[in-house]
Amino acid sequence: MTESTTPVLYHHMTWPEIAAAAGADVPVVIPVGATEQHGPHLPVGTDWVLPERILTEAARYRRIVVGPFVPFGYRSRPGSGGGQQFPGTVSLRATTFMSVVEDVLTELVRSGFRNLVLYNWHYENSGFVYEPAFLVSERHPHVKIVVMEDVNPDYTPERREQLWPAAFPGLALEHAAVIETSLWMHHQPDLVRADLIAPDQPERVVNHDVLPIDARLSTASGALSSPVPASAEKGRVLTEWFVERVVQVLDEEFSHEGGTR
């Protein structure tokens, strides 16, 4: 495989390079994330940095433009993101978030892109990513927009055993735990505060929300299950699985665009 020297990150590109990519119908894949606490051991930018790293890896195999990223998401919930009570979390109300995504899509269409992907990492954004895509599609029916609200690969029983040999806590409780900690360990271990990694779990786990926030649905650390089993090797394997998933979607939806590197 020949490595390309063409920048793939939107914010590293010049306007002529962006215009050329749009003119060639190269898909632009937008990491949609959040600025949210991820325990005492991971950065608050986890939900947009990690998908950007994964998509940069995917760009080694398929011709895509990565970004521009959306760094703010819908408000954190205790049972899936720890909740709004943590310092550092900066959230948007649903209407603001949807307007931001709609404006980003509209601007990319104005720049000439006709193939767009919303690649959402932040659990709470689910349900609010499709609406702006639908509105933009109504105005620009010649544009194809793919919405990936859940970017996770298929965690088969074999994969679960590999990642969580003790027990799989469920994806909602995987906030700041094995998946994200392992990915950081693989991609940028210097930003993991390894000495602060410790097991934690909520006092209550329910399938509904409670307001005012019931702190028992979250944890004192902000990690909703134990990050202790995380490792750089798991992060490498997870990266392969995430890249495989997005490449499959790209091939299925844009087989006539881009191409193999």
CA distances from 3 to 12, 21, 57, 63, 261 (A): 17, 17, 11, 11, 7
- Look at residues 169, 185, 174 and name the one whose alpha carbon lies nearest to residue 151: 174
Which residues, including other chains, have CB under 8 Å from residue 152's CB and lie 6 or more apart? 171, 242, 245
What are all long-range contacts of 185-188, with beta carbons under 8 Å and residues at least 24 apart? 185/230, 185/231, 185/232, 185/234, 185/235, 186/232, 186/233, 186/234, 186/235, 186/236, 186/238, 186/239, 187/50, 187/53, 187/235, 187/239, 188/53
Residue 52's SS3 state is helix
Radius of gyration, alpha carbons of the chain: 18
Residues known to be catalytic: 36, 38, 47, 122, 124, 175, 180
